[in-house]
Structure 1
Amino acid sequence: MLARLLLSPPACRDAALLRRAVAGQTILVTGASFGIGREVALLLAEADAKVLLTARSLGPLQELADLIAARGGQAEVYRADLAQPAEVEALIQRLRAEHPKLDAVVSNAGRSIRRSAYSASEKRDLERSLAINFSGPAALILGLLPSLGSGSVIVNVSTVSVKPPGGPRWGSYQGSKAGFDLWLACLGAEVQASGVRVCSVYLPLTRTRMSAPTYSAATLALSARDAAQSVVDALVRPVSRIAPWWLAWQELGALLFPNVMRRALGLVERLDRWQERRR
């Protein structure tokens, strides 16, 4: 409850309201096998939407589709790795053939890596992060634009960390996510004349498999379900941004006091190095 009050963006927790917004719609959810994507798919299926599930892991996707079907919902599985251009193209062609009209795309697939810039360069983190967090989702959305008509919605499941300031050891993740966030905002300005709405949902830290290696169980964070309720709120309300109440203050602080922010983050990095030496 404390995490929800302090961290959470606006959310749709009214099942009837969500059902009125999405019942009968066909909605693609990327990164649907675990975490936030899985919870988003369950919420949409419970609200009588037909959910198209895509991710790299076929087994968990099929288990999710079976669970949705057992509860009386509709789900179809489309396994694809968005970091592989050939698989993205194959996914686009299959979706356009089988579902010529989509009502929404929830772009949730992503990869988080926390590592120093030097170590990241050795492991090609930036290249891999750009593929899964930026170029893959961008190619998928461009390929599906012909299926998105007036009234359709593109939802970007983003993070508060795409906004300034940049944090130490998060360059590959923040850089790739911020790039996609800005690219999608530009696309949104182009497609709004066609009646397609773009909305970015800026989530704070959420407890998922992706964040588990970085933070302890004591860290204040949202549950995947709470985060998913914020994501589906983008399908209920005609907005272009969903964010915690404090994110605008963070952005303003970074703009007005850049040196203070820089020094504070430098202290964070020094603390990390001190802790590493003690291990």
Structure 2
Amino acid sequence: MLRRVLLSPPACRDLRPLVAAVRGKAVLITGASYGIGEATARLLASCGAEVILLARSGERLEVVAAEIRGAGGQTSVYPLNLTDLEAVRAVASQIAANHPRIDAIISNAGHSIRRPVLDSTERDDLGRLLAVNFSGPAALLLALLPRMVAQGGGMIVNVSSASAMPPGIPRWAAYQGSKVGFDLWLGSVANELHGRGVRVSSVYLPLVRTRMIAPTRAYRFAPALTPLEAAQSVVYPLVQPMRRVAPWWLKGQQVATLLFPDALDRLMGGAEELVRRLTRRKR
């Protein structure tokens, strides 16, 4: 219980309002083959939504879809690598042709890399994460937005991260940069769509126990939400029209960043220096 209070943003744990909000609606979910996306797909399907599943891993998507159908849910599958912009446009056209309307888009697909910046240049970490976390999801939304506006509106939910807010965290430059970029881009789009029936919400999740964090040893014993707990927060904007869904402490972090930026930067830099020293000693 304490872990949930400390970590969790507002969440839809009572499913009755969610059933009322999504029954019979079509919800598109990216990154739906594992983790938060899979949990969100299963949750929405159990509440009567038709879930449109997108992810790179087509075989895994089919497994998830078969299990959803076996439980009485409605779903369709579109394998898609978001870094392939031509494929993004082609799949968007297929979706538009096959589905009369899309009531909500949950932009969940993403990837993280934790690596010192001096070790990441030859690996093109920034380019790869910008493609997965920014340009790919943006291209998909741009392909589907005209349809959503024409149908009279809909909902876009951006599954973001609490680390998409300052301060800058050492070794997470590519991840933070790509997530912050998409978050700000989508915020600008939301303001441009004001009054046109399309609502936008960003959900800033804390640590979630998924495959994505498994390579980071520091997170093995850190408090984290389960994928289902995260999914309950992801769907919250479908029930409550909130522009931002975040843990209660995130506003305090933002205020501290504004009031004490130099102190926080020194703290982050000092922590990184300590890690380097400890690493050298172990060698």
Q: Gaps spanning 5+ residues in structure 2: where?
A: none
- The 1-side partners of 2:261 and 2:240 are apart by 34
Partner residue, 1:267 = 270
Q: Secondary structure at the match of 1:244?
A: coil
Partner residue, 1:211 = 213
Please say if 1:11 is aligned against 2:14.
Answer: no
Q: State the number of aligned residues.
A: 279
Partner residue, 2:57 = 57
Task: Please report the TM-score for the alignment, with normalisation by the length of structure 1.
Answer: 0.98
Partner amino acid, structure 2, of 1:172 = A
- The 2-side partners of 1:229 and 1:132 are apart by 24
Partner residue, 1:255 = 258
- The 1-side partners of 2:262 and 2:146 are apart by 45
Moved more, 208-217 or 180-189: 208-217
Q: Secondary structure at the match of 2:212?
A: coil
Structure 1 230/156 Cα, relative in aligned 2: closer, same or farther at 3 Å?
same
Partner residue, 2:170 = 168
Q: CA deviation at 1:151?
A: 4.1
Alignment of 1:86-105 (within 5 A): 86-105=86-105
Q: Secondary structure at the match of 2:121?
A: helix
Q: Secondary structure at the match of 1:90?
A: helix
Partner amino acid, structure 2, of 1:153 = M
Alignment of 1:10-49 (within 5 A): 10-49=10-49
- The 1-side partners of 2:110 and 2:190 are apart by 20
Alignment of 1:121-270 (within 5 A): 121-148=121-148, 149-214=151-216, 215-270=218-273
Q: Is the 8 A contact 1:27 1:52 kept in 2?
A: yes
Moved more, 265-274 or 8-17: 265-274
Q: CA deviation at 1:270?
A: 1.6
Q: CA deviation at 1:272?
A: 2.0
Q: Secondary structure at the match of 2:110?
A: coil
Deviations 1:194-221 (A, max 9, x none): 1100000000111100011114431111
Partner amino acid, structure 2, of 1:173 = Y
Partner amino acid, structure 2, of 1:164 = P
Q: CA deviation at 1:93?
A: 0.9
Partner amino acid, structure 2, of 1:99 = H
Partner amino acid, structure 2, of 1:220 = P
Deviations 1:166-217 (A, max 9, x none): 1001110000000000000000011122110000000011110001111443
Q: Secondary structure at the match of 2:53?
A: strand
Deviations 1:117-157 (A, max 9, x none): 11111100000000000000001001001221434100000
Q: Is the 8 A contact 2:213 2:219 kept in 1?
A: no
Structure 1 216/193 Cα, relative in aligned 2: closer, same or farther at 3 Å?
closer
Moved more, 115-124 or 127-136: 115-124
Q: Is the 8 A contact 1:100 1:147 kept in 2?
A: no
Q: Gaps spanning 5+ residues in structure 1: where?
A: none
- The 1-side partners of 2:84 and 2:115 are apart by 23
- The 1-side partners of 2:87 and 2:277 are apart by 43
- The 2-side partners of 1:86 and 1:34 are apart by 24
Deviations 1:91-139 (A, max 9, x none): 1111111114100000000010001111111100000000000000001
- The 2-side partners of 1:272 and 1:57 are apart by 36
